[in-house]
Amino acid sequence: MLVDSHCHLDFPEFAPELDGVLARARNAGVGHFLTIATGMKRFAAVRGVAETAADIHCTVGVHPPEAAAEPLDGPDMLLAESAHRKVVGFGETGLDYYYNHSPREAQIRNFRAHIAAAREARLPLVVHTRDA
């Protein structure tokens, strides 16, 4: 069995044909999907996709380029969302100094919040790092 350990099934471009995308992946041998969150504002959509099938789970988190737009004051918001049965980790988080869409300080603050949440909940952390 194959596992797609990093997909973004909530992205709008998949919406019109999500059932077909999943069917083709399953027919090709993918037996499980981990759809990765990129922001808290979009997390309901991520969780919603995960709730559609037993073979889909998700993470909760804020992608580094979104750190300025979605600052975290600590792990509490992440931990609250991680209580959902479909959440199996935190992220996508980390540091991305290649594009510099968010100040480094904001990225570092959010990364630390994710690390604290992962430690407290004892769940994995999905890390995105580029030129950092």
SS (H, E, C) 67-98: CCCCCCCCCHHHHHHHCCCCEEEEEEEEEECC
pLDDT in tens, the chain (132 residues): 999 999 999 999 999 999 999 999 999 999 999 999 999 999 999 999 999 999 999 999 999 999 999 999 999 999 999 999 999 999 999 999 999 899 999 999 999 999 999 999 999 999 999 999
Instruction: Tell me what pLDDT residue 93 has.
Output: 98
Name the pTM for this structure: 0.94
Q: In order of start, what are the domains of the chain with their CATH numbers?
A: 2-130 (3.20.20.140)
Identify the H or E element spanning 28: none
Instruction: For the chain, give the number of residues.
Output: 132
Residue type, 112: R
